[in-house]
Amino acid sequence: QVQVVESGGGLVQAGGSLRLSCTASGLTFDDYEMTWFRQAPGKEREGVSFISWAGNNVYYADSVKGRFNISRDNAKNTLYLQMNSLRAEDTAMYYCAARRWGSKSWWHDAKTFDHWGQGTQVTVSS
């Protein structure tokens, strides 16, 4: 049974940093490419950042470029999102999602992701 669990969210002041983690079990982690999504109240879910199975391809939403960094440790079945210079508009529930490598779909196409975590809340106070 596949389990995906996010952690690391919390309350932080604007300008601060947080590091999110996502651990997956019940799957061969390096068979999967990963995306962080987020959803704020009243807004649509959006893709934040993507990393390929080997970690050699990464993408970011324009809104987080230069501030967020995605990485993975396949030996630990863990995905990370380092978030710096946080802004109030980064406040959202953050989810990690997994899909098998080789998809031809956009990296932020949520419908193509098979496994999702429950999310971790990030709140940035201004």
User: For position 117, what pLDDT does the model report?
Assistant: 98
pLDDT digits (tens, 9 = 90+) for 58-117: 999 999 999 999 999 999 999 999 999 999 999 999 999 999 998 999 999 999 999 999
Average pLDDT, the chain: 97
User: For position 59, what pLDDT does the model report?
Assistant: 98
User: For position 50, what pLDDT does the model report?
Assistant: 98
Q: CB-based burial of residue 44 (10 Å sphere; 0-12 exposed, 13-18 middle, 19+ buried)?
A: exposed
